[in-house]
Amino acid sequence: TMSPASARALTVDSLNPKVLALADHLRGAVAGRAQRMQKELETNPGLYPFDEIIYCNLSNPHYLGQQPIKFFREVLALCDYPHLLNCSVTSSIFSSDAITRAREILDLIPGRAMGGYSHCQGTEGLRNAIAVGIATRDAFPCNAEDIFLTDGAAAPVHMVMHLLIRDEKDGILCPIPSHFLYTSSMALCGATLVPYYLDESGGWAVSISDLKKQLDGARSEGITVRGLVVVNPGNPTGQVCLLIIDLCNSYILVQVLMWLNCT
> CA-to-CA distance for 16 and 132, rounded, in angstroms?
43
Query: Which ranges constitute the DSSP H helices of 190-245?
Result: 208-220, 242-245
Domain boundary among 131, 146, 161: 146
Do 122 and 178 fall within a single domain? no
Q: Any residues with CB less than 8 A from the CB of 167 and at least 6 apart, and which?
A: 190
Q: Which residues, 6+ apart, have CB-to-CB distance to 134 below 8 Å?
A: 140, 142
In b/e form, how buried is each residue of 11-38, taking b as 16+ CB within 10 angstroms?
A: eeeeeeeeeeebeeeeeeeeeeeeeeee
| pLDDT tens sequence across 161-185 | 999 999 999 999 999 988 888 988 9
Domain boundary among 117, 146, 175: 146
| Same domain assignment for residues 85 and 139 | yes
Same domain, 104 and 120: yes
Say what the pLDDT of residue 128 is: 96
Q: Are residues 162 and 233 in the same domain?
A: yes
pLDDT of residue 224: 94
State the total domains in the chain: 2
- 182 assigned to some structural domain: yes
Looking at residue 260, what is its pLDDT? 44
In this structure, is residue 42 part of a structural domain? Answer: no
State whether 242 and 157 are in the same domain: yes
Q: Are residues 225 and 188 in the same domain?
A: yes
Domain stop point among 146, 162, 177: 146
Q: Quick one: 141 and 157 in the same domain?
A: no
- N residues, the chain: 263
Number of other CB atoms surrounding residue 241 within 10 Å: 19
Q: Are residues 172 and 117 in the same domain?
A: no
Same domain flag for 220 and 125: no
d(CA 99, CA 85): 7
The predicted structure's pLDDT at residue 251: 36
CATH code of the domain containing 219? 3.40.640.10
Instruction: For 24-34, write each residue's pLDDT tens digit.
Output: 777 677 888 99
pLDDT score for 261: 45
Q: Burial-class residue 9 by CB neighbours within 10 Å (0-12, 13-18, 19+).
A: exposed
Is residue 251 situated within a structural domain?
yes
Mean pLDDT of the chain: 85
pLDDT, mean of each 10-residue run, the chain (263 residues): 65 87 75 91 93 79 86 96 94 96 94 87 94 94 94 88 93 90 90 93 88 93 92 83 43 40 40
Does 177 fall in a domain? yes
| 178 and 87 inside one domain | no
In whole angstroms, give the CA distance from residue 227 to residue 171: 7
- Indicate which CATH number applies to the domain containing 112: 1.10.287.1970
Residue 51 lies in a domain: no
Give the HSE-up count for residue 90: Cα atoms under 13 Å, Cβ half-sphere. Answer: 20
pLDDT of 244: 41
Full residue range of the structural domain in which residue 254 is found: 153-258
**Percent of the chain residues topping a pLDDT of 70:** 87
Query: What pLDDT score was predicted for residue 63?
Result: 80
Please tell me the predicted confidence (pLDDT) of residue 5: 55
**How much is the pLDDT for 4?**
61
